[in-house]
Amino acid sequence: MSTVQEIKAAIDGLSPVERAELEHLLRQSSPPLDLEVDSPELEAELLKAADGPFMPFSPEDLRKDCEAVLRTQRRG
């Protein structure tokens, strides 16, 4: 697999049990970052995100995402 789209398609094709196993394996391979503690690992991830490729949101996309979050919060 060479592209993010191919990896996402492969993950989407997993059964719920396989997804749970993958999630468990990923958590074991790199423990989650504690966002309350500054660490070299957190700094590295933040720098990667800042330097990585990104595409700005269009106002319409941002509005749709905000509406989806609000709908989810109202249900829960």
CA distance 33 to 37: 8
Residue 39 falls within a domain, yes or no? no
Number of domains in the chain: 1
pLDDT at 33: 67
Residue 63 falls within a domain, yes or no? yes
* Structural domain range at position 23: 4-34+45-75
Give 30's pLDDT tier (boundaries 50, 70, 90): confident
Please indicate, yes or no, whether the overall pTM of this predicted structure exceeds 0.85. Answer: no
Percent of the chain with pLDDT over 90: 14
Residue 40 falls within a domain, yes or no? no
CA distance 38 to 46: 11
Here the tokens at position 15 are: 């059964």
What is the length of the chain? 76
Residue 23 falls within a domain, yes or no? yes
34 half-sphere exposure, CB direction, 13 A CA radius: 4
